[in-house]
Structure 1
């Protein structure tokens, strides 16, 4: 690598491998983009390591990391080499320039070839693009915003989906058939628009009119195209009254519609000038709906469209692209925005958005509002603004289970309520509401916890614990024989951190091996041996050193002995785990035509490995049952799925191409 390349590598993010964006310095003196660090912290919670050297970060609060000063050598390099980034085509980190057609960064070697692809597309004949003079006048303003190819695609798409164009002139409807024949019109025609509903002439109503009326009457007052369920009207009461609330309701029971009813009520009242929105906002009601992943942005916006049936395209706006500074303009044009919570948090930090300019914040999957999660980061800003006397938006938080997977669910619930500034939790009441929910939603045919007998003695587990882990721990002076899983995990994290601080190489190596073996045991408790061993072999390869110590050699020998033992067990065709047998049995018993199944697992590795196991199972293959997996976003090394892959998997599941979906619970 030449000297110039070495310089360029200094300001390349070690995680995303692109040009550093808002760089932060770790304790190990490596640099990382702020967004990348936030992703690492969010995915790994309290066991986060540097992507480059695997040293524990020690500090898990993103707020405690500060940006580099302008005179820092990395800042100076970034300001000097402004044209250096990763080439979109060859992935080399070098000098680049954006393509004039698509704006993707291209290096000198790839630029000409990349431009040829655009020329090839443009040279392809595009039929049926002949336009009448009237159509050209209508479309002229659009051409200034689109490239030639984009404009042609727009015309083709419009003609594929519209049988005829409707023009309006002096209240006279004039049609241009799809055949392309023209109609003489004296004045310049314009596209007809749906008639705007005049809310100032709509019947005036109050909070009591909503919460004390029957569903049919609520439908009429709010101009809905469905009758809300009585429990949905009751649960909307705190939000309608201006109070923060948590809505705890099972999936499919209509949590989103409850939030949409509140938003529609406040939106109508602001249009009728009955209420005064937050002092710092515009005269129109403004709200933001926050979701955990990109795939849900469009989904939740579509749900709101069923409530906002009058001109939803002028009210609702999903933010799923890099709009940045343009959001300030979008804020003036639209009223309700749909963000991933991470993107909204980034917008707040970059001053593209202002929390005080919203009247309502709706938070999906609110049970994540703790530690370093972006929801909690946003709520910290909310609390700071509130304590400083600023007007803050009301909060509606949605979840299917508030105290999920917590040892002390009540304490967790108290913390969630405090973090979300909510004093009211709305849930289904026993009796009539419970019966109504059962009758109006697709509830499970059975709700049963099945116990699976645990293997009394597994030779793989015994060999790893007794012959390998105890031997390594003993060399380091650790007694791990009485520690349970959680205690051992915490112990190893602390010892590894201390070893790094003391520069104790043997302890760092030993803790690294023990952490890998411990994680293997957790995976192996649920998953097939071959998938777990594959993961372990890849993990142990990280410890290969060019100049190993005696202790390093000892750990490697112990590892190799264990892997040889496992190879023998695999060659002897080990029996499938009881848990996995039971899962396959349940799937076969419950599967019917057009049936879908959802399997929730703990980790991304569980999701990927279980999908592989299910798709290999001969009994499921015979019944043509295929599985897919769904995990959160992040890097490919963390077994994450980007947003477009998430959408593809969900689409396959909806269409029935995949009958089973193995997904992480977050």
Structure 2
């Protein structure tokens, strides 16, 4: 509507050259000068719309042009662009996923009825790959849908895949859809034209990746076509525990066979790869073991008293206290106690594990952290004692509690590794120094203790260290919390992430100039991924450990295994492998069928009614196997209406909402008040 001389006049029908989708009412009586004005307006409007359309086209072209690959990326995608099944092997931070996006884009452009599915092995990677990688480059021209266990789309996966061009999901979501015969949930591998598998070195043994690919391999051997093209992504396939080249080659061949793919890497652009993805400077920050450890010695004496009380079977030898081997031994002892209905043996073994945990913490963290760990365990034990074993174990701790706390507070015997860790951090952090680092430790408990230590450490606070915890989702941690932490790290609100192994694989973490591995024993793949987090120039990778300790030996062993893996890949790449892959695939199918038959035979040995479920604490029978049903392939539920061996406890608070169930109160043993179950409200479909 145009306004002229105080009058409103409706515009006429636009000329034929104008934008036809716009129609306006014409006015029967209109002055000639108004007509000239309206034509001018329509001409201008047409030009504006034409400019907008051109701008949109330019934006789309620009987004497509932005998806440019480096030389080494172009080299590794060549065979994938020809439709071959390949595993892209590139180091962490080199842009494997970006190369996969490029392959997906070309596949969508050239394949009629293309359906791309991207599989990840961790829930948080669904949103990350969607937001950071695929949506920015493909979202303008294609329909992309992220699907995880938290999303409603998982219940309608069949229609979702049918109506989408690209689906990003966990491997479990796809496998559930493949095995579920309901029309709204079922999909076939033949519905997919390109299957991208992130962190594909996990395609082995009983992993969900391998279950998906087992279906693929069986269909291939039975010539059930069509099947999707496979594109795997990995920083290292590892050696599978092999210590020599022959067995390492066998492992790489097995991964290739499981994925029905050849493994490709850059040959002509190695110098560019090294320039774009520099390796950090590695250093071992070694300390001498403390000469005296009064707290550790006192804990060991208490453990000896428990050994004497429990009367360990003469044919059972416990290994050295304060080691992972000792922990494995007491776990077996507890299991034996339950099987024999020997509560004394089971409970003593359970408590010994807590003492061993305290020794491990004392060796890695502060002495006070070790004391607090044990004190927390015993807080409620004295009030729930039901026999002489409980009174002995609780009494032993109470008698020694004051002395333990006193020893834990004696700074003369503090853990020297903590001092070395402080020195390592201070070499990179300072009031006027801009640094970012990741501190890797083994357990959730240890990373929370390390954060408390950073906050309590005056020197680190003066150096401007701002620490935050990064763990996997679970135990009250949501994916949103995880994303918030990484965003704070990117925005410099946090400059030190203290993390478990969750940050070693897959997470989109900005460049760091310091990576510290503290008290970790992992394989060569995890070590390689951790070092790949130090992406900034002149970055450092530090291993803080005792002189001659297991951590140093494992680190050096992993370096050798990394080289062995590289040699094995080179050997495999020189082979003509398709026939050998088929042979391995046939053997794998036979082995899988034998394993499944063995599992079925084992399940059939006992009827459900003959299986008894015991309270772990008091060993009282609380349910039968026939009382337990599996709902929706995920919820194990006691459906016996006469179930009565319980009391209702407090509310269960979970920092997360679930689509198909809500947590209620705890269900406790009526004899000893041990928490056994959770009362849930299920929303059955």
How far is 1:345 from its partner?
Answer: 4.2
Distance 1:265 1:440 in 2: 25
More strand by proportion, 1 or 2? 2
Matches within 5 A, 1:78-97: none
Distance 2:215 2:380 in 1: 39
For residues 6-37 of structure 1, give each alpha carbon's deviation from its aligned partner in whole angstroms, at most 9, with x where no partner exists. Answer: xxxxxxxxxxxxxxxxxxxxxxxxxxxxxxxx
- 8 Å CA contact 1:266–1:285 kept in 2: the answer is no
- 8 Å CA contact 2:158–2:187 kept in 1: the answer is no
Counterpart check, 1:362 vs 2:212: no
Distance 2:290 2:269 in 1: 43
- After TM superposition, the score normalised by the length of structure 2 is 0.57
- 8 Å CA contact 1:365–1:398 kept in 2: the answer is yes
Partner of 1:437: 273
Cα RMSD, aligned residues only: 4.2
Counterpart check, 1:234 vs 2:70: no
For residues 359-386 of structure 1, give each alpha carbon's deviation from its aligned partner in whole angstroms, at most 9, with x where no partner exists. Answer: 2222323344456554344444444554
Distance 1:369 1:543 in 2: 43
Distance 2:142 2:499 in 1: 35
Partner of 2:471: 631
How far is 1:312 from its partner?
Answer: 3.2
Matches within 5 A, 1:512-661: 512-541=350-379, 543-544=381-382, 546-574=384-412, 576-591=414-429, 593-636=433-476, 641-661=477-497
Distance 1:247 1:240 in 2: 12
**Given the superposition, is the C-alpha separation of residues 329 and 482 from structure 1 closer, same or farther in structure 2, using an over 3 Å criterion?**
closer
**Given the superposition, is the C-alpha separation of residues 384 and 485 from structure 1 closer, same or farther in structure 2, using an over 3 Å criterion?**
farther
Distance 1:371 1:458 in 2: 42
Partner of 2:106: 265
How far is 1:260 from its partner?
Answer: 1.7
Counterpart check, 1:464 vs 2:296: no
Partner of 1:451: 286
Partner of 2:114: 284
Partner of 2:15: none
- After TM superposition, the score normalised by the length of structure 1 is 0.59
Flag structure 1 segments of 5+ consecutive residues without an equivalent. Answer: 1-167, 175-183, 199-218, 272-282
How far is 1:586 from its partner?
Answer: 1.9
Matches within 5 A, 1:101-500: 169-170=19-20, 223-271=64-112, 283-294=113-124, 297-305=127-135, 307-308=137-138, 312=140, 314-320=142-148, 321-350=151-180, 352-356=185-189, 357-370=191-204, 373-386=207-220, 389-391=223-225, 392-403=227-238, 413-414=251-252, 417=255, 420-422=258-260, 424-427=262-265, 433-441=269-277, 443=278, 445-469=280-304, 471-472=306-307, 475-477=311-313, 478-482=316-320, 485-500=323-338
Partner of 1:155: none
How far is 1:197 from its partner?
Answer: 8.1
Distance 1:622 1:405 in 2: 45
- 8 Å CA contact 1:289–1:336 kept in 2: the answer is no
- 8 Å CA contact 1:633–1:643 kept in 2: the answer is yes
- Of 370-379 and 258-267, more deviation after overlay is shown by 370-379
- 8 Å CA contact 2:88–2:233 kept in 1: the answer is yes
Distance 1:582 1:369 in 2: 38
Distance 1:469 1:252 in 2: 49
The structure with the larger Rg is 2
For residues 544-586 of structure 1, give each alpha carbon's deviation from its aligned partner in whole angstroms, at most 9, with x where no partner exists. Answer: 5745333333322333345433201133335542222222222
Distance 2:234 2:366 in 1: 32
- 8 Å CA contact 1:603–1:664 kept in 2: the answer is yes
**Given the superposition, is the C-alpha separation of residues 314 and 244 from structure 1 closer, same or farther in structure 2, using an over 3 Å criterion?**
closer
- 8 Å CA contact 1:468–1:558 kept in 2: the answer is no
- Secondary structure at the residue paired with 1:375? helix
Partner of 1:509: 347
How far is 1:657 from its partner?
Answer: 0.6
Aligned length: 451
How far is 1:417 from its partner?
Answer: 0.9
For residues 315-344 of structure 1, give each alpha carbon's deviation from its aligned partner in whole angstroms, at most 9, with x where no partner exists. Answer: 332235222344433323321122234444
